Amino acid sequence: MKIARVRTDERVREGEYEDGTVTADGETYRVGEDADLLAPCNPGTFYCVGRNFAETLDQMDYDRPDEPDWFIKPAVSLHHPGDPIVHPPWTEELTYAGELAAVVDERCTDLDGEGEVRDALRGWTILNDLDALDQPGRTARKAFDGSAPVGPVVETDLDPRGIEMETHVGGEKRQDANTELMLFDPFEVVSFLSERYTFRPDDVISFGSPANPGLLEPGDEVEIRYEGIGRLRNPVVGPGE
């Protein structure tokens, strides 16, 4: 089942998504007509794993990690599907990263094995891990306002291993990979991080991106597709547009 969140004239509603509509509490809303699509969760924290594809290690000249390598984005990084990404005026090297992500369903820690991880997760979504490459250090590069477009839905019934992904920028294919190429699979990553953190409902855990050549410029549109989930699309605009 696909779950989405929408904003109506009255309030934010969450329900089952199908063919451009969201059904919540017996009411059906047409996305773009009766309601605006929001990110499918409202995370307090983003836990983002990097260096999780061998292709990325080669691209960035990184050593192969012995365990998952991660960083954190704050809640203000959240950005909704379809909303324009404003190219920050303080960077000349903004790039994208099409990542599979998990959404936490219940407060949890010290998860042991795939079964406990599955029970703690609501499902799977897509994250665009925006990155200002010319800034010093990961926090400056990645943890800014609106740096984490998420969506469009959470898929509750999916095996995240062995699914295809693609990213297109301005109609050009920039990424094409399969999650079987991850160095650490999603269940390993969530279990590993849960030894260090207590996850809360709606927190997002992402699992890295294959090599992502090229930069984003105003006028581009980024479209990230993950098999079984859908397509996360956002246009890119200049400051003040």
The predicted pLDDT at position 51 comes to 85
Residue 40's nearest CA partner among 116, 106, 104 is 104
Are 109 and 214 contained in the same domain? yes
> Taking Cα atoms as reference points, which of 158, 160, 127, 123 lies closest to residue 234?
127
Q: Does residue 142 share a domain with residue 170?
A: yes
Q: What is the pLDDT of residue 58?
A: 55
Q: Do residues 153 and 230 make contact, with C-beta atoms less than 8 angstroms apart?
A: yes
Range of the domain at 7: 1-38
pLDDT at 61: 57
What are 23-62's pLDDT values in tens digits? 998 899 999 998 999 999 999 999 999 889 876 545 555 5
Check whether residue 166 and residue 155 sit in a common domain: yes
The confidence score (pLDDT) of residue 9 equals 84
Close Cβ partners of 19 (under 8 Å, ≥ 6 residues apart): none
Under a CB-based contact definition with an 8 Å cutoff, are residues 191 and 207 in contact?
no
107 & 11 share domain: no
Return the closest-CA partner of residue 189 out of 65, 49, 46: 49
Residue 220 shares a structural domain with residue 141: yes
Q: In whole angstroms, what is the distance from residue 79 CA to residue 216 CA?
A: 16
The 3-class secondary structure across 32-98, one letter per residue, is CCCEEEECCCCCCEEEEEECCEHHHHHHHCCCCCCCCEEEEEEHHHEECCCCCEECCCCCCCEECCE
Question: Are 19 and 64 in a shared domain?
Answer: no
Q: Considering only CA atoms, which of 94, 95, 238, 77 is closest in space to residue 145?
A: 77
Q: What's the DSSP call for residue 146?
A: T
Does 65 lie in the same domain as 103? yes
**What is the pLDDT at residue 240?**
77
* CA 33 from centre of chain: 25
- Domain with 125 in it: what CATH number? 3.90.850.10
CATH assignment at residue 25: 2.30.30
Whether 34 and 47 map to the same domain: the answer is no
pLDDT at residue 56, rounded to an integer: 52
Distance spanning both ends of the chain, measured CA to CA: 36
- Please give the pLDDT value at position 57: 47
The total number of structural domains that make up the chain? 2
Same domain, 34 and 114: no
Which residue has tokens 């979504």?
Answer: 125
For the stretch 208-234, pLDDT in tens is: 999 888 999 999 999 999 999 999 999
Answer yes or no: do 137 and 33 share one domain.
no
Looking at the fold, whether 29 and 47 belong to one and the same domain comes out as no
pLDDT at 60: 52
Hey, which residues does 56 pair with through a beta bridge?
A: none
Rounded to the nearest angstrom, the gap between the alpha carbon of residue 161 and the centroid of all alpha carbons in its chain is 16
User: Are 5 and 116 within one domain?
Assistant: no
Segments of the chain scoring below 70 in pLDDT: 55-64
